[in-house]
Amino acid sequence: MVALSFLIWLPLIFGVFAWISENKFKSSGNWITLISLSGLLIFSIYLGINGTSSLSWEWFARFNIHFALLFDGLALLLVILTIALAMLAVLVSWNDIEKHRGFFHFNLMFSVAGIIGVFLAADLFLFFLFWEVMLLPMTALILIWGHEGRRYAALKFFIFTQVSSLLMLVAIIALALYHQDQTGELSFNLGQLQQLVIPENMQFWLMLGFFIAFAVKLPMVPFHSWLPDAHTQAPTAGSVLLAGILLKTGAYGLIRIVLPLFPSATMEFAPVAVTLGVISIIYGALMAYSQTDFKRLVAYSSISHMGFVLLALFSWHEVALQGAILTIVAHGISSAALFSMAGLIQHRIHSRELGKMGGMWASAPKMATVTLIFVMAGIGMPGMANFNGELFTLLGSYQQFPVQTIVASLGIVLSAVYGLHLFQRAFQGPPNVDVVDLHMRELVFTSLLVVALIYFGLQPHIVLDLSSETISSLMQIAGEAHP
């Protein structure tokens, strides 16, 4: 299905168009990017309505590398999330970018193309290519349009991701060579590589190469230290993409590659991975409470929330896997929403420090109300999307790892502590500063985020239906590995 490749090429084409247009007509880049993303969203939904589709072109025949794409329910879900949050990134930074505006829109769309490529790739070499492609424009977003410590943050982000990516590349090459030994030809195709018979000791080391790369992006303690710096120094649009989408590529890699390719190794490694997930949950929550910077607090909360995803995935339980995917979607929306509010406040008072806020409810009641809703979503209030993900995660994980799950549940209590602490410091108490309330454009996109969080909170079956095929496949693989 040739049209499937347009999901990758169109963002690049429109990104170049927005770059050229912005250099000639000021502010045209905003409209071109927003309209093209809207069209891309409609196009992806249209492709999704037609059901699972795939594409495979011979690329490097000598090495049996194909431009192979797979568009199933899980990919559709994450592609829609990517495009929707990219639209949010444009809206929230509408008036923030003052230099190289055209190049900013190009990098934004370049990031979207790379991320969508990661979600669609059915060939490991192609997956690695898109994994590297999405790194470059995101580094540029931090380095060029970031804040005071942007150079250090961009370099740290690049080094962490690049080093871990090299481990993944080694594992990919080793898998292709194993396929050659067993069948007589190289292969990077995910479906074909699942049929390999790999010795258990080697399976563990190959799994570890992928796991570290994805754990860095997730991020998981102890590979997390790049995230708070990157989030804090990135422009608001960069923070929205990082928290809402880029972290999810790590979780997606675990679901699409690590679990199906190495079921036995992941089951043996599960106690370690689950323990690291629980440590991430508690550590992220405690660090979030200790922060005085709005964006840094939300960044550490992301480490805590993504720990639930790691816990769920390595529990190898159907309900837990459902919880992981629900959490991926819910956290993508709620964290992007909180970073948007942090950006709107910083644009008004030119500071992220909670000590310079306080009492803003008096002058900005609309901003305070939507922020409170986003905080409630983040701490898992029933009726909001995050609640379903955490509930399913804990219910499923408890069946396999009861002690670790009980400890992990403390993270929900701690999230309420740091979430309400954030809101109290910023919006309650004596007024320290008067701020302009939400404008119409800001009120529209924040209201849509509120609707999304409530809608997916009340209708989680939409997410579960789209991901059911992937979860069923994983459970079948688990049954074959350990009947």
326 within domain boundaries? yes
Three-state DSSP class for residue 390: helix
| Residue where a domain stops, chosen among 182, 216, 250 | 216
Give the per-residue pLDDT at 447.
95
296 within domain boundaries? yes
222 within domain boundaries? no
Instruction: Judge if 207 and 294 occupy the same domain.
Output: no
Give the per-residue pLDDT at 6.
93
How far is 409 from 394, CA to CA, in rounded Å? 7
Average of pLDDT values for 372-378? 95
Banded model confidence at residue 464, pLDDT cuts 50, 70, 90: very high
Instruction: Judge if 367 and 425 occupy the same domain.
Output: yes
Banded model confidence at residue 471, pLDDT cuts 50, 70, 90: very high
132-182 pLDDT tens trace: 999 999 999 999 998 888 999 999 999 999 999 999 999 999 999 998 988
How far is 74 from 324, CA to CA, in rounded Å? 12
366 within domain boundaries? yes
Say whether pLDDT at 28 is over 90.
no
239 within domain boundaries? no
The string of DSSP codes covering 55-121 is EEEEEEGGGTEEEEEEE-HHHHHHHHHHHHHHHHHHHHTTTT--SSHHHHHHHHHHHHHHHHHHHHB
Instruction: Judge if 1 and 128 occupy the same domain.
Output: yes
| Number of structural domains in the chain | 2
Average of pLDDT values for 230-245? 90
Instruction: Judge if 280 and 212 occupy the same domain.
Output: no
Instruction: Judge if 313 and 428 occupy the same domain.
Output: yes
> What is the DSSP-derived secondary structure letter of residue 476?
H
Instruction: Judge if 209 and 272 occupy the same domain.
Output: no
Say whether pLDDT at 205 is over 80.
yes
Place of tokens 């816990």: 311
For 54-63, 343-352, 469-478, which range has the lowest pLDDT when averaged over its residues?
A: 54-63
Say whether pLDDT at 434 is over 70.
yes
Say if residues 238 and 142 touch (Cβ distance below 8 Å).
yes
Give the per-residue pLDDT at 26.
80
56 phi/psi in degrees, rounded to 5: -150, 115
Give the per-residue pLDDT at 20.
93
The string of DSSP codes covering 154-176 is HHHHHHHHHHHHHHHHHHHHHHH
Q: In the chain, pLDDT over 90 holds for what percent of residues?
A: 76
Q: Give the tokens for residue 184.
A: 């007589």
416 within domain boundaries? yes
Instruction: Judge if 281 and 411 occupy the same domain.
Output: yes
Instruction: Judge if 50 and 165 occupy the same domain.
Output: yes
Banded model confidence at residue 199, pLDDT cuts 50, 70, 90: confident
Angle, helix 402-427 to helix 385-400, in steps of 10 degrees: 160
Give the per-residue pLDDT at 220.
92
6 within domain boundaries? yes
- Dihedral of CA 129/133/136/139: which sign? negative
Please give the span between the terminal C-alpha atoms of the chain, in angstroms, as a whole number.
Answer: 37
49-98 pLDDT tens trace: 887 788 888 888 888 899 999 999 999 999 999 999 999 999 998 888 88
Say whether pLDDT at 424 is over 70.
yes
Instruction: Judge if 166 and 302 occupy the same domain.
Output: no
Say whether pLDDT at 22 is over 80.
yes
The region, left, alpha or beta by phi > 0 then psi within -120 to 50, assigned to residue 359 is left
| Residue where a domain stops, chosen among 155, 189, 216 | 216
| Residue where a domain stops, chosen among 194, 216, 238 | 216
228 within domain boundaries? no
32-54 pLDDT tens trace: 999 999 999 999 999 998 877 88
Instruction: Judge if 173 and 48 occupy the same domain.
Output: yes
Domain interval for residue 77? 1-216
For 346-360, 394-408, 445-459, which range has the lowest pLDDT when averaged over its residues?
A: 346-360
Q: In the chain, pLDDT over 70 holds for what percent of residues?
A: 99
Question: What's the half-sphere exposure (Cβ side, CA atoms, 13 Å) at 424?
Answer: 7
> pLDDT higher for 257 or 54?
257
Instruction: Judge if 37 and 170 occupy the same domain.
Output: yes
Instruction: Judge if 157 and 293 occupy the same domain.
Output: no
Give the per-residue pLDDT at 50.
83
Average of pLDDT values for 229-240? 90
Q: Give the tokens for residue 147.
A: 């804040």
Give the per-residue pLDDT at 1.
64
pLDDT averaged over the chain?
92
